[in-house]
């Protein structure tokens, strides 16, 4: 069930699953975000709601409602 902007997710995998289900994975972020990857510790730039570290393949996701807040970007796992 769609919970809108009030919905909460337990982790990055749930966020990425929701993005894929709703078709938002490739949607550009309002502002690109430079992240330090949780998997390899190397900086990369997140450009879309679902982004992948160029170095190790860690997948990250953020819902459209929270895309304005870089702290809401969650790691889903390497190759997720």
Look at residues 70, 68, 17 and name the one whose alpha carbon lies nearest to residue 43. 70
Is the pLDDT reported for residue 1 higher than 50?
A: no
Q: Is residue 62 part of a domain?
A: yes
Domain ranges, residue 38: 27-80
Whether 1 maps to a domain, the answer reads no
| Residue 20, in any domain of the structure | no
Q: What percent of the chain has pLDDT over 90?
A: 86
Whether 8 is in a domain gets the answer no
Question: Tokens 């550009």 label which residue?
Answer: 28
Residue at 79 is within a domain: yes
Classify residue 68: in a domain, yes or no: yes
H or E element in which residue 37 lies: none
The pTM of this model reads 0.90
CA distance readout (Å), 23 to 17, 18, 55, 65: 10, 8, 25, 14
Total number of domains in the chain? 1
Higher confidence at residue 11 or residue 53? Answer: 53
pLDDT tens sequence across 28-65 = 999 999 999 999 999 999 999 999 999 999 999 999 99
């Amino acid at each position: 069930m769609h919970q809108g902007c009030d919905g909460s997710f337990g982790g990055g995998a749930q966020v990425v699953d929701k993005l894929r289900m709703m078709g938002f994975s490739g949607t550009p972020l309002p502002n690109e975000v430079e992240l330090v990857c949780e998997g390899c510790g190397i900086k990369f730039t997140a450009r879309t709601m679902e982004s992948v570290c160029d170095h190790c393949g860690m997948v990250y996701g953020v819902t459209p409602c929270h895309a304005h807040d870089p702290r809401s970007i969650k790691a889903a796992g390497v190759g997720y």
